[in-house]
A = this chain, B = another copy of it.
């Protein structure tokens, strides 16, 4: 493809400015580190948007030129305006790719796309997470070994109340005794969605090279084959074959 993908990274950008420990790890925000990682993986057109911008930085205009959106949120899910959520949701159904990161599992957007409560069990004790590749043939797993490790992460444990993923890529093992479906692919409308678990704000997860590699793979996988600006409506159609009229 000659035209570069337009990637927009959305971050609520709250912890980094209100929790000094997080601010120290991500002084310019999680979105800045994600953007750097994608640029290093060859994505030329990467922009960011945050909660405090007008329309959360996600105007119709911005969405219309976005091919792939990344979403990180946690503390401020409820502050995301419903009409912006509806706009992003509609755009995913048109074909915009979506990568949902970590606590984005509980965003209005992901709950709306999955139709479920998206609840998890969790623990913030900074334990070891080992992420196993279940589907080695999948493009999102390209370049990975059997597993990769994060020395300190928040635990998310099953049951993860989501629809059975269309494709399951990763399973996490946690030191404290839990497991989690950490890489889940969905198709909704013409849009592809990749949920990727790691990325708690108090750990430097998004600096991890393997994590950046997986996110880059994810962006490529969700990138639209086609974007249909005229999404389907309930549409009346004439018969193609001859039929008799009802009596």
Contacts and interface: CB of A to CB of B under 8 A. Distances in A.
A187 B164 contact: yes
A3 interface: no
A125 B245 contact: yes
A35 interface: no
A138 B190 CA distance: 8
B164 A93 contact: no
Interface in A138-184: 138-139, 141-142, 146, 152, 155, 157-161, 163-164, 166-168, 171-179, 181
Contacts of A246: 125-127, 152
Interface stretch (A8-16, A38-46, A50-58, A112-120): A112-120
Dominant secondary structure at the A interface:
loop
A24 B127 CA distance: 40
A213 to B, nearest CB: 14
Interface stretch (A26-34, A61-69, A204-212, A229-237): A229-237
Interface of A: 89, 93, 95, 106, 112-117, 119-123, 125-128, 130, 132-139, 141-142, 146, 152, 155, 157-161, 163-164, 166-168, 171-179, 181, 186-192, 224-226, 228, 231-241, 243-247
